[in-house]
Amino acid sequence: MGEKTEKNLAIAFAAESKAAARNLAFGQKAQHDGYEQIARLFRAVADAESVHAQRYLRLMRGKIGSTEENLETAFHNEIRANVDEYPNLIKEATEEGVSAVEKAFSQSRDVESRHAELYKKAMNDMLAERETIYHVCQVCGYIAEDEAPENCPICGAVKGKFNPN
């Protein structure tokens, strides 16, 4: 595959991934506003955009490896986000006095650290064939193992804000 095609797949993957996330958010807003039919449409389009993104990702060389390789890649991506990306985002939001964004970036950074821990643990659990239920905080993205905590350790959300996976 040529360089241009590889680059274009990466661009398309990013665009479709963003469209999926954006349409899910639009769907939540429509649901909140009482427009169930519009919410269903946004969710359906988000699902379709995810299909596109996953197809492009599969076509990109070397992006999906063995499960062990994927865990290792995911672990390093979380560390990189925590160490290289979020500190600058937090700094700039703080400098511009946008406290809500600074808080969101700080919580995301902290959650990325937790994700790295979970990936590292999953590498070991895979060998032990241990199964875990994960509970995701719908406010900040924190992931708890086995059962949801009474309150999220990152943002303080109550247990009811966690979805099991």
pLDDT of residue 90: 97
Banded pLDDT at 62 (limits 50, 70, 90)? confident
Provide the percentage of residues in the chain whose pLDDT is more than 70.
100
pLDDT of residue 5: 95
Please state the pTM of the whole predicted model: 0.79
pLDDT of residue 124: 81
Q: What is the mean pLDDT of residues 92-120?
A: 95
pLDDT of residue 131: 81
* 15 Rama class: left (phi>0) / alpha (psi -120 to 50) / beta: alpha
Cβ atoms 41, 49 nearer than 8 A:
no
pLDDT of residue 15: 96
80 pLDDT more than 90: yes
pLDDT of residue 32: 97
Neighbours of 86 (CB within 10 A): 20
pLDDT of residue 129: 75
Q: What is the pLDDT of residues 116-163, one digit of tens each?
A: 999 988 988 887 777 889 999 999 999 999 999 999 999 999 999 999
Neighbours of 4 (CB within 10 A): 8
91-129 residues labelled b (16+ CB within 10 A) or e (exposed): eebeeeeeeeebebbbbbbbbbbbbbebbbebeeeeeee
d(CA 95, CA 91) in angstroms, rounded, equals: 6
56 Cβ partners below 8 Å, 6+ apart? Answer: 9, 12, 13, 16
Domains contained in the chain, CATH given: 3-59 (1.20.1260.10), 67-164 (2.20.28.10)
